[in-house]
Amino acid sequence: MRHLLKSIALAAGLLAGGATAAAEPTTGSQSMDTVQHLGDFQVIEFRRYHTAAGEREHFTAYFDTLFPEAMQQLGALVLGSFHERGNPTAFTWLRGFHSLSDRPIVNSAFYYGPVWREHRTAVNAILPDSDDVMLLTSLPGRSVPVLPAVDPVQEPAGAKGVIVAEIFSVKKDGLEEFIRRAEPLFARYRAAGIREAGVLQTLDVPNNFPQLPVREDGPFLVWMGVAKDQPALASRFEPLRQETLEAFTATGLLRGAPEIVIMDPTRRSRLRWFPTWQQP
């Protein structure tokens, strides 16, 4: 009898929702509780690479397959990885550390460890440029969210959404004032339905892992957001771009025009459109 009732209930669900909807995986059943133990990552490497021509997909395949879990086991986290639109060689990713003192320990363990040693020749052959790196820290309460890893069963098509990064080159000693004046403009992005995914500023300290150079031409402020899809980006973010550009420039605190980078998440990017992620 129990099996009969289960069959009837399943049939009723298919009739009510449609067979396609019932069979379609969704991230809605994944819980943010699964990543609570990972904690917060206050120190961020914002890494912008350029692969050899025609090799970005190959680099992405190496990266997504080999490196996220290796870094996670050592105490760092690949918070997101993306393809920059309009530039077929650009690959950007975020590596998070719990603290500044963790950075040299984790990086040493990885770059002198067995995973990188095995694969570095193949990867480096298609990665001629990896020096555009900003060392950042999040503003209080504005850290990059730690989202669950992409589930290969529930998300067979991979990560979804559109990532926006707005990079501001701020005049020396002007960062605090610029942050204050930029906040109402960031609030407009959130009000338009773009999920804020972090507000980061230059971490102005000596590079404690000099084997990996970092940019020293800051300070920078980086705002990150996630749109559900291209229509949402076009209808909610794009109309604000010109208005906010003029307002940011009018502060007189920038060294140049803000750089807006639109990116698509790679298949395994943690930072993506994730329905059960709720903004604070």
- On the question of pLDDT at 12 being above 70, the answer is no
pLDDT averaged over every residue in the chain: 90
Burial string for 49-76 (b: 16+ CB within 10 Å, else e) reads bbbeeebbebbbeebbeebbebbeebbb
Express each pLDDT in 82-103 by its tens digit: 999 999 999 999 999 999 999 9
pLDDT tens digits, one per residue of 132-190: 999 999 999 999 999 999 999 999 999 999 999 999 999 999 999 999 999 999 999 99
What pLDDT is stored for residue 280 in this prediction? 55
What pTM does this model have? Answer: 0.88
Give the per-residue pLDDT at 29: 55
Cβ contact 256:220 at 8 Å = no
How far, in Å, CA of 147 to CA of 159, rounded?
11
Residue 116 reports pLDDT greater than 50 = yes
* For residue 115, pLDDT beyond 90: yes
Q: What is the pLDDT of residues 194-227, one digit of tens each?
A: 999 999 999 999 999 999 999 999 999 999 999 9
Rounded mean pLDDT of 266-278? 93
Residues with Cβ within 8 Å of 248's Cβ and at least 6 positions away in sequence, in order, are 168, 182, 185, 254, 258
**pLDDT higher than 60, residue 26:** no
CA distance 154 to 74: 26
- Judged by phi (left if over 0) then psi (alpha if -120 to 50, else beta), residue 73 lies in alpha
| Contact status, residue 96 vs residue 68, Cβ threshold 8 Å | no
- Better pLDDT: 16 or 78: 78
Give the DSSP letter of residue 162. Answer: E
The CATH class for the domain spanning 32-146+158-265 reads: alpha beta
Kindly report, residue by residue over 70-82, the tens digit of the pLDDT: 999 999 999 999 9
The domain limits of the chain are 32-146+158-265
Task: Output the CA torsion sign for 122, 125, 126, 130.
Answer: positive
Q: Give tens-digit pLDDT for 226-267.
A: 999 999 999 999 999 989 999 999 999 999 999 999 999 999
Q: Percentage of residues in the chain with pLDDT exceeding 90?
A: 84
- Whether residue 27 is predicted with pLDDT greater than 90 in this model: the reply is no
Beta-carbon count within 10 A of 125 CB: 12
Per the DSSP assignment, residues forming a β-bridge with 48 are 92, 132
- Answer yes or no: are the C-beta atoms of 204 and 219 closer than 8 Å: yes
pLDDT at position 274 is: 94
What confidence score (pLDDT) does residue 279 get?
63
